[in-house]
Each structure stands twice: as structure tokens, then as C-alpha cells.
Structure 1
Amino acid sequence: MNVFWFRRDLRLEDNVALYKATLEKEPVIPLFIFDIDIIDSLPKDDARITFIFNTLKKIDTELKKVNSSVLIKIGKPIEIWKELISEYKIDKVFYNKDYEPYAISRDLEVAQFLNSKNIGVFSYKDQVVFEESEVVKADGLPYTVFTPYKNKWLSKFNDISLSENNPKSNFYNFKTVFPSLESIGFVESKIKVKRYNLAHLDQYDAIRDFPFVDKTSYVSPYLRFGLVSARKLIKIALKSNATYLSELIWREFFMQILFHFPKVVTQNFKSKYNQIEWRNNEQEFEAWCKGETGYPMVDAGMRQLNQTGYMHNRVRMVTAGFLCKHLLIDWRLGEAYFAEKLVDYDLSANNGNWQWAAGTGCDSAPYFRIFNPTEQLKKFDKNLEYTNTWVKDLNEFTYPQPIVEHKFARERALFTYKKGLNL
């Protein structure tokens, strides 16, 4: 028999490796591994684990219609595979590629082990349209600036056609007892991931900066965990909105940056920023985390994040810029906080956007671009509709005074950056 390994592709339709697996003569066991190297560091009510669990349960229900199941395992992947080959006679293993540093090393270890046991390993491109080395400069080097990358991506895209990969009903007949969330070591999160809605994508460029409109697609966690394919969204974007298409290309740009420059996980992309003297004031960082900075748009964003696991895109830029520039707190601290809270957390995008906000990234806002959070509020939420939704005490005596004065913070940031950059 063969095994298909679910990872960032939690769907039965339009799934390349699953489709390839079901074309084989041998029946397919669908497998998902709760990797303790990842999940052991998460809070017990992590919203993403609840989301993944509920998604797998739906997939299992679908598979039961063809007398099959999802085989759920908990442990270190390499140890799980050692168990599986003693339980089943496995001929081939199929999975979709992942481009993050941890995933690359994990998959290499698993593939080497399986190959040593004469088990075939087949990996496929699925979570992107173009993977790490398909959109590169003429000399073969990776792009580090978005616009030329996007132009090359679009010119190359014309050469391909997108096709759906729907699996054949070639699943192994077996029944497993679907585990409880508690048996995996978690409890159900109070945070629910919103259903996605693509109805307003044709207006995306006109409404994307206004959080109070709340016509966001909310598709990002579904794309992150592969409940919807990048191919499907790109097909829709091609027909509906060029700006939205650009955002999907940004996603692939940051993925290839992470692949080619894995140092960005812990280091500045631009090493000349290594001499910036971050203040890293613990009390100010805590105030930012709680949404108690005295700047209404910043606080609204952070409270939305803490309560829902989500934050509007424009507000993400404002809150991140505020932390790095106004408070001179290292982007890595903010990036880690977002990584803990966001239901759509994706290492490459989160890292890329935080380094953009700090000015340290490959294609970033210049160090002297410092958002004025008060002006951002007037421009994008002038009637305070979004702000009042999340900052209930805005007009109360309990609401804090601004943690720092904007003009002072701006001048301090410029001085600190110039000093670090020897300007």
C-alpha cells in the first residue's frame, strides 16, 4: 500500500500529491502527524490546533463515505515513520513540498530513512504556483526586490495553465477511532476561525486599507493550512483584482526569500542594520502586547489580535511600525508575539513583513518612513468605527495616555537608525 502525508494541504480536492497517490494501483492511507517538535511549545487552547483538528475531522467524515479514514499519529515524524513501516507494508510515500527550514530538514531525514528501507518517496509542488528556483534572475540568483520578481512571475505565469487535481477514490479500506482533542494534549479554543468570503475581491484595492469596512476575505488561515489551494485563489484573483493577485505573489516572494536566505528567521536580511541599538523596554513591550499604548489604532489592532487571532492588514503595518520605530523594540520580539497569536501565522510572510516594517528586510520600508499612528487613524478610521469595536474604554478615565509622544519618538528613531547605520 501507499501513504499520503497531509501537512499544509488539508483538503481532498485540488491536492497534487494526493492526486498522484490515488493514480497508483495500490490503495492509499491518508496520514496526519501532530508533530510534538511543533505542538509541545503551543498553549493548550491554541486556536490553530483546534482549527486543524476540526478540519481533519471533516476530512475523516468524507473518507468514511468511501470506507476509509485519516490515520492520526502524535509524536516525532521520524519515530512515527519507524512505527508505520512495522505496522504496514508500505511501497511508496507521497507528500507536498514545504519550504521552511524545519520542514526541509524533517523531510530530508524522513526521505533518507524511507529510502533506506526501499520505500519510494515522491514530493510535489502544491502550496505555490512557482517554487524556490522557478522565478529567478537571468544569472540564476534569487530576486531580493519584489517588483522585478513580480514582473518575472507574471511573464512566466503566462506559460502555464492551472488544472484541478481531484483524487480518484483509491483509498485504503480501514477504520480508525478518531482521537479526541484532549488525547492530543489540547482543549478547544474559544477563538473561532471565521469562514472565508471571496465575494468582495473585486473591490479589494478600494477597501483593503479601511478596517472598519470589514469586507476582508478572511481566507488567510485557509490558505496557510491548505484548506484552499493557492491555484484556486490565483484563478479568482486573475478575474477579479490585480492588487489581490499582487498580495498572493508577495506570499510566494517571501517564501523564496526564506528558502534562499534562511538566516532571516533570526537575523536581519540587511546586515548593516545589525548595529541598531534597540531599547527593548519590557514594560513598553507589555503595554504594546496588551493594546495599552494610548494610541487608539495600535491598541485596537492588538486587542483584535488577542481576542480573535486576527488583525487587519493595514493595522498590522501600523502596530508593527509603532513597535519598531516609536518604541525601538526589536522586530524579533514583535514577530514572535504575532507568531504566537495569529491564526494565519506563516513564517515567511510574518518574518518578511516584520522586517519590512523595521526597515531591515530585503524589500523594506526605508528607515526614515515612520507611520504617524494618529494620522493613520484619521485617514483609515476617521469615525472610529473599527477602533470603538475593540477599544471599549476609549473615552474612559482608564484609557492610558500615549506611551510616548510621536514627534519625540520619530526623532529618537531617526537618530538611533542613523547612528546604527553610520549615516
Structure 2
Amino acid sequence: MSQPVTLVWLRRDLRVFDNTALQTAIRRGLPVAAVFVFDTGILDHLSRDDRRIGFIRDSVAELQAALTEKGIPLLVLHGRAEKEIPALAGRLNAAAVVCAEDYEPAAIERDNRIWRVLDADGREFVRVTDQAVFAKADVMSSQGRPYTVFTPYKNAWLQTYAQRYAAWQPADDWAAAARLQTALPDAARNPPPVPACADLGFQPQPSPFAAGETAAQAQLGRFLSHIADYGLTRDFPSKQGGSNLSPYLRFGLLSPRHLAFLAKQADCEGASVWLSELVWREFFMQILFHFPHAATENFRTEYRDLTWENNPLWLERWQRGQTGYPLVDAAMRCLIKTGTLHNRLRMVAACFLTKDLLTDWRHGERWFAEHLMDYDLAANSGNWQWAAGTGCDAQPYFRVFNPVLQSQKYDPDGHFIRRYVPELAHLGKDTIHAPWLAKNSIDTHDYPAPVVSHAEQREKAIAMFKAVKDKAAAGH
């Protein structure tokens, strides 16, 4: 029997810096090997031109090179993770498999199946916290219950952070790792290179984000240079005032502990606003963990009986950016073209689909899931329910964004609209937000008239929600 090893299964933690799973494995005192699995249980459900695959593939390739420099081989497999991981653990004589825990229901079920197989083989399965600063039940109410309202959760999160991370330093046991790796068995050495997208069955696609930890750190540096302005500029899509870090955080190319630390160190209003966004991310993670049904069902039970109109033609026009509302259409075309969407525009598009088009939020959630580079089930379902008014701590059902007013406020000069709705590029800022209201005839190059009347649909939406809420309150 060969020298036992600790096998690190990398998933949403594709980085070297402050990687909890890697550091935990090193501290166990055995040689370390790492593995990444292109899990066909996930890949088989994706479009063959999904742009995220190339981003992940290139990030894994950079990680393989970085780990090789530290003497840790990264093996890259293609197949069902629940078969590949136990099999590899057997081939390498792994005493334990270490990974960063996941909070999505399907991932938890998969990991539990793998744990049972490893346990039967006499191997440990060690799950650690990495994709969140505080996970699962780390931040609970004084009654020991999960928070379902953001503000008290945030206050408790900040208090817990102050207690646990007052003197945070990134974990660094690489010197110990170098000594351990001299006993690495031959079966783990010299892994083959990362397969190309074509080998995985996907067509390479251009990405708006450079892949890899190096690119992630570079973007973080750029953002920190103007973080003080974040609270003032983040709502304006044409100003590029956001952090542009979400895909890197989604795939673990950045450490959430490091980001929270940097936000606290910056000590300015912009950093405080950004930290709140990081806390929102973890709020939705703990909601999904404690209430897994929130991914597919209305969180608020009084709205379980909502009867959405679900007009398929309206849904298609929304998906393709042909609603006749320029800011909504610019947002949806941007999503299809780039795989990215500004946070303010996500809210505008989601509110329009649910409140103006009276379409079930789950249709929008699935569309975003297919196209967003930074798609995350907890954040996506949580934010869609927030916009629809059906989720925990959601906006009130009677708060309905006016798409024209949102356009005038957050894209006042029409720069973003002109970029993605070129048929309106010639219009001035007085007409581009609502061309159908122009006093004189204007050429809109076949741009469609509004699919619905916002004023009429707003009243319908409010009435629909109120009727269901009143019925639930009456006990029917």
C-alpha cells in the first residue's frame, strides 16, 4: 500500500490565496493532492455554448500551474463527481477528502452520497467553510433561529465578524506543504493538462471577464482604487461604478474573508455599502441552507396561491429585449450578449417581468441561470423573490418600479440604452426613455411599441397580490 495522502476536492474555490480546503489539507500532515471534476451531472444540463465553461476551464488551468509550483498536483477529471471522487481517493490511498462545503440542495445531496461511499471505504470526508465568511448556522437570532429579515441579520453578522476576525490574517502553511510533498506517491505526480472546452463537449465562447486568480486580483485592485465612490456610482450602468468581481467571487477566485477584511480596512462610505452587498450574499446563502424550498417556491406562504398570467409571447419579448421599454430591452440584450447585467438593471428587469408582465418569477430566474456568468442559486432565487415581492424581506408588493422613471434616473443621458438598443441611438435624452410619448413623429427603426401599459399592469399586479394576501389573512 502506497503512502496515504489527503485529497483536496476543489470546486467553488479556484485559488491559492486563503483557500481553506487547501490549508486544512496541509495541516493534516500528509502529502496533498488536489482534484477538480468537470461534473457531467451539472454539465449535461447546460447549453453547448455556455460561456462559463471556458472561464472555469481557463481558471482551472492557471490554478493547476500555480499549485504545481508549490509541489501540489491538480488532477482534472471529467465525469460524475460521485463516482470520480471515491474512485480517485481509492487509487491514491487517500486517508481523507477535504472540500469547501456547498449550500445548494442538490450539492448537499450529492456530497452526502459521496460521504457515505468514502465512509464505507474507511476514508474521512471533511467539509470546511470557504465560499462564505459565515455559513449555515454561524449567525443566528438570540432564539437560535435563522434570520429572515436582512437588517437584523446584517447587524448580527457585523457583530460576529468583529468578534472573530478582529485580527484576521490569511492562512499560509505552504512551507509545511513543501516538506510533506516529498513523500507524494507516484500515482499522484505529473497530472495531464486541463482538457480543452471541445474535449468537454463545449464550444469556446468569448468572455467579458479574464479568467484566473491573477485576473481576479487585478480587478480587485482596480476596484479598490475607486471604492470610496461605490455608493455614489453603483446604480448607474453606464458609469461602470460596480466592483465587477461577482464572477470571481462566484467561482472562488477571491476569498470572501479577504474581501470583508479589505472593506473594513477601507473604512469609507463606499466600502460600507459594498460590505452590505457581501452580507446580502451570505444572507441569501443561509436562507437557502435553512429553507431549501426557497429556490423553487414562494418563500412567503400567503403568496403560494398567486395566479400569474404567464403570457408566453410576453415572456419571449422580455427575454429577447423587445418589450418596447428601452431600459428593460437594453438590459436583456446586454445579458444575452455579454453574460453580465448591472445590479440595478437586474432589479428593473425582474420587477418588469413580474409586475408589468405578471409572469412567475421562476421563469426569469431560469433565464438568468442560463445566461449569467456569475449565476448563483442562492443569490439569484433570493433576489428574484425580492423583486417579485414573494421572498423573505422582499420589497412590498405595491412597490412597482416604473421602467421609464428608472431609465430617466439611472441612465439619464441614455448612454446604456444607445449601446444595446442601437435602433434608438439617434434619439435625444428627452425621447429615448419613452419614444412612444414623443410629441412629434420620430423614426424608431421598427423598435416595438410597449408590450403593455405600465400604469394598467401596475394596478393589476397590486390587485392580484392584495387579493391573495387578504384571502390568506382571512384564513381561507
Query: Do both share a fold (TM > 0.5)?
Result: yes
Larger Rg: 2
Q: Does 1:212 align with 2:238?
A: yes
Matched residue, 1:183? 199
Q: Which of 64, 80, 83 is matched with 2:84 structurally?
A: 80
Q: Deviations over 1:242-293 (max 9, x none)?
A: 1111110111110000000001111000011122110111111010001111
Gaps (5+ residues) in structure 1?
none
Matched residue, 1:124? 128
Stretch of structure 1 that moved more, 37-46 or 366-375? 37-46
Matched residue, 2:259? 233
Give distance in 1, aligned partners of 2:208 and 2:161: 35
Q: Deviations over 1:153-204 (max 9, x none)?
A: 1111111122212342445461122122211111211233255332322211
Q: How far did 1:389 drift? A: 1.1
Q: Which of 447, 455, 468 is matched with 1:407 structurally?
A: 455
Q: Secondary structure at the match of 2:460?
A: helix
Structure 1: which 4+ aligned runs deviate by more than 3 Å? 66-69, 169-173
Matched residue, 1:312? 342
Matched residue, 2:108? 104
Give distance in 2, aligned partners of 1:152 and 1:316: 27
Give distance in 2, aligned partners of 1:86 and 1:371: 56
Equivalent residues of 1:297, 1:373 under 8 A apart: yes
Stretch of structure 1 that moved more, 369-378 or 178-187? 178-187
Matched residue, 2:357? 327
Equivalent residues of 2:324, 2:450 under 8 A apart: yes
| TM-score scaled by length of structure 1 | 0.97
Q: Which of 362, 371, 377 is matched with 2:401 structurally?
A: 371
Give distance in 2, aligned partners of 1:117 and 1:353: 41
Q: Secondary structure at the match of 1:123?
A: strand
Give distance in 2, aligned partners of 1:282 and 1:166: 53
Q: How far did 1:67 drift? A: 5.0
Equivalent residues of 1:47, 1:192 under 8 A apart: no
Matched residue, 2:332? 302
Q: How far did 1:121 drift? A: 2.0
Equivalent residues of 1:299, 1:391 under 8 A apart: yes
Q: Secondary structure at the match of 2:7?
A: strand
Q: Does 1:166 align with 2:172?
A: yes
Q: How far did 1:68 drift? A: 4.5
Q: Deviations over 1:384-416 (max 9, x none)?
A: 011111111125322111111111111111122
| TM-score scaled by length of structure 2 | 0.86
Matched residue, 1:152? 156
Give distance in 1, aligned partners of 2:276 and 2:66: 34
Q: Deviations over 1:108-157 (max 9, x none)?
A: 11112111111122221111111111111111011100001111111111
Give distance in 2, aligned partners of 1:110 and 1:267: 27
Q: Secondary structure at the match of 2:163?
A: coil
Q: Deviations over 1:300-353 (max 9, x none)?
A: 111111111010111110000000000000000000000110000010000110
Q: Deviations over 1:212-270 (max 9, x none)?
A: 11132210000000000101111121133111111101111100000000011110000
Give distance in 2, aligned partners of 1:222 and 1:35: 20
Matched residue, 1:57? 61
Q: Which amino acid aligns with 1:193?
A: F
Q: How far did 1:81 drift? A: 2.6
Q: Which of 8, 28, 53 is matched with 2:32 structurally?
A: 28
Q: Does 1:246 align with 2:276?
A: yes
Give distance in 1, aligned partners of 2:251 and 2:35: 15
CA root-mean-square deviation: 1.5
Q: Secondary structure at the match of 2:332?
A: helix
Q: Which amino acid aligns with 1:159?
A: Q
Equivalent residues of 2:32, 2:72 under 8 A apart: no
> Structure 1 residues 267, 237: CA separation in 2 closer, same or farther (over 3 Å shift)?
same
Stretch of structure 1 that moved more, 187-196 or 244-253? 187-196
Equivalent residues of 2:7, 2:89 under 8 A apart: no
Q: Secondary structure at the match of 1:377?
A: helix
Q: Which amino acid aligns with 2:78?
A: I
Aligned sequence identity (%):
42
Q: Deviations over 1:82-127 (max 9, x none)?
A: 4214422111211111111111111111112111111122221111
Give distance in 2, aligned partners of 1:356 and 1:201: 26
Stretch of structure 1 that moved more, 29-38 or 171-180? 171-180
Give the length in aligned residue pairs.
423
Stretch of structure 1 that moved more, 121-130 or 171-180? 171-180
Q: Which amino acid aligns with 1:410?
A: R
